């Protein structure tokens, strides 16, 4: 114990529907090289690799990690592959953290990817997540599943489609400043409300895209980080929690209990007791526009859902608001599934290092979350959270 860890470099590829110009290893090479350059390190400085990729049905190759081993410089190094659905990138970052804090390694490349553009049947692949005996036959997809929970939550919590539209508009406008974002659309809440209905109350612009892309971070021991002359992002706390997968039975699919427990665990490790005062920026994993409404509450920024509705109306999470949520544009604008949760970590790390292209001023601490499986209204079967900061604990 007594060890610490910091992120010293991040790298992303431009997210898009289809990267037809590269193969999987070529995409991963692009991402790994960019990340090493950002950290001012060479591949020989890396002790171990954690690879994240969610369902390989999207990518059309079993074990894209093994295919990419040569391209990312993993040959002869310890490498393992993490897959917790949409939470994959968050789980991979946590796995990397354990690599360092256990004392086994001094520097780890955590690299995640997905090429959803390799399939034209993404929802059919999502459908195979569900039990083949009971649920799969209903042709359940992620969007319908989420819509069911959102309808229930709207009724119970008292927010409307307008609140969702306000969040979506904010995220899409934030993405205009993010060179890596997939969707860069200057849309108003009215534009969101008028976009095509997909599964009520979800309209096209309430829903994340499916993207091709990769993201990576380099994590090193505190000892190594202290010797670096540039700002680094200290990992101050982390948490993970797994819930259960039975949409019809689980109340937590409506209550964000999974996310909340992971976030509380991360706050506890980071010594954060008043998130509203101590957290300056959040990159939450929220694939649908409603998720942020409840997050203000479940992430501890206010004391009730009622208050969080007021937060939406007051612009609490806007770039000019009290605590900006998703300066990058978030999952609503870029969603390379297995990498999406690592993008959250990379974005917060860059914020804490003070060199994000869409920088929030004076960031002391930021929060990144991940969520995968069983998509209820912003809830998840697998939840992860990480608090990163400018200064060590």
Partner 1 sequence: MEPVAIIGAGQTTYEGAKRHLSYQEVIFEAAKAALDDAGLKRADIDCVVLAAHDLVDGRGISSMLGATPAGAYQKDETRLSDDGALAVAQAYMQVANEFNRALVVSWAKCSEVPMDQITNLAFDPFFFRSVGLNARTAEALQAERYASRNGVSPETAAQVVEKNRGNAANNPKAHLRTPVTVAEVLSSPMSCYPLHRLDMAPYSDGACAVVLAKGDAVPSNRKHAWIKGIGWSVDSYYLGDKELSTLPSLKQAAGRAYTMAGIRNPLDELDVAEVHELTSYHEMMAYEALGFCKEGEGARLIEEGATKVGGKLPVNVSGGVLSSNPYTATGLTRVIEAYLQVSSRANGHQVQDARTALAHGAGGIGAQSNCVVILSGER
Evaluate whether 309 touches 157 at the Cβ level (below 8 Å): yes
Q: Is there a cis peptide before residue 201, judged by omega within 30 degrees of 0?
A: yes
- Residue 6 in the binding site for partner 1 (CB under 8 A): no
Residue 125 contacts partner 1 per CB under 8 A: yes
Comparing CB distances to partner 1, the nearer of 66 and 355 is: 66
Q: Which is nearer to partner 1, 247 or 324 (CB)?
A: 247
Does 80 help bind partner 1 (rule: CB under 8 A)? yes
CA–CA distance, 365 with 388 (Å, rounded to integer): 6
- Binding flags for partner 1, 221-250, as an x/- string (CB under 8 A): ------------------xxxxxxx-----
Q: Provide the token pair at 382.
A: 């697998």
Q: Residue 360 carries which DSSP code?
A: P
- Helix/strand/coil for 115: strand
Choosing from 4, 43, 45, 98, the residue that interacts with partner 1 (CB under 8 A) is: 98
Q: With contacts defined by CB under 8 A, how many residues of the chain interact with partner 1?
A: 63
On whether the CB atoms of residues 297 and 260 are closer than 8 A, the answer is no
CA 166 centroid distance within chain: 20
Contact 145, 376 (CB under 8 A): yes
What is the smallest separation between the CB atom of 75 and partner 1, expressed in angstroms? Answer: 6
Tell me if 99 contacts partner 1 by CB under 8 A: yes
User: CB 3 → partner 1: shortest distance, Å?
Assistant: 8
How many whole angstroms separate alpha carbon 9 and alpha carbon 173?
A: 26
Residues 6+ apart with CB under 8 A from 247: 135, 140, 145, 148, 149, 253, 374, 376
Q: Per-residue x/- marks for partner 1, 341-370, CB under 8 A?
A: ------------------------------
**Closer to partner 1 at the Cβ: 246 or 304?**
246
Q: How far is the CB of 289 from partner 1 (least distance, A)?
A: 23
Residue 322, token pair as written in the block: 């009290």
Does 104 participate in binding partner 1 (rule CB under 8 A)?
Answer: yes
Rounded-to-integer distance, Cα 193 and Cα 205, Å:
8
Task: List contacts with partner 1 (CB under 8 A).
Answer: 1, 3, 23, 53-57, 60-63, 65-70, 74-85, 91, 94-95, 97-99, 101-104, 125-133, 239-245, 261, 265, 372-374, 381-382
């Amino acid at each position: 114990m007594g060890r610490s860890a910091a992120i010293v470099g991040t790298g992303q590829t431009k997210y898009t529907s289809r990267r037809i110009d590269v193969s999987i290893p070529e995409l991963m090479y692009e991402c790994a090289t960019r990340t090493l350059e950002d950290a001012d390190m060479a591949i020989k400085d890396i002790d171990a690799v954690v690879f994240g990729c969610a369902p390989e049905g999207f990518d059309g190759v079993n074990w894209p990690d093994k295919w990419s081993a040569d391209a990312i410089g993993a040959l002869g190094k310890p490498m393992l592959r993490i897959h917790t659905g949409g939470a994959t990138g968050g789980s991979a970052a946590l796995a990397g953290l354990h690599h360092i804090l256990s004392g086994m390694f001094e520097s780890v490349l955590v690299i995640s990817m997905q090429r959803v553009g390799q399939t034209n049947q993404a929802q059919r692949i999502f459908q195979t997540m569900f039990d083949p005996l009971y649920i799969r036959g209903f042709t359940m997809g992620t969007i319908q599943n989420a819509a069911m929970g959102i309808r229930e939550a709207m009724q119970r919590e008292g927010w409307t489609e307008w609140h969702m539209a306000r969040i979506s508009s904010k995220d899409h406008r934030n993405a205009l400043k993010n060179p890596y974002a997939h969707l860069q659309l200057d849309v108003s809440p009215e534009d969101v409300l008028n976009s095509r209905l997909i599964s009520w109350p979800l309209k096209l612009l309430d829903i994340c895209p499916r993207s091709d892309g990769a993201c990576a971070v380099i994590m090193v021991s505190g000892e190594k980080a202290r010797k670096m002359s540039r700002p680094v992002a200290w990992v101050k706390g982390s948490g993970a929690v797994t819930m259960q997968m039975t949409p019809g039975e689980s109340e937590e699919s409506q209550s964000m209990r999974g996310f909340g427990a992971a976030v509380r665990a991360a706050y506890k490790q980071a010594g954060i007791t008043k998130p509203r005062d101590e957290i300056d920026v959040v990159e939450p994993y929220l694939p649908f526009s409603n998720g942020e409404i409840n997050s203000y509450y479940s992430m501890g920024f206010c004391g009730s859902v009622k208050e969080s509705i007021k937060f939406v109306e007051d612009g609490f999470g806007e770039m000019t608001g009290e605590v900006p949520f998703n300066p990058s544009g978030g999952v609503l604008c870029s969603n390379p599934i297995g990498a999406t949760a690592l993008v959250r970590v990379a974005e917060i790390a860059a914020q804490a290092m003070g060199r994000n292209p869409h920088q929030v001023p004076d960031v002391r601490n930021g929060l990144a979350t991940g969520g995968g499986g069983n998509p209820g209204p912003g809830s998840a079967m697998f939840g992860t959270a990480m608090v990163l900061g400018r200064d060590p604990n």
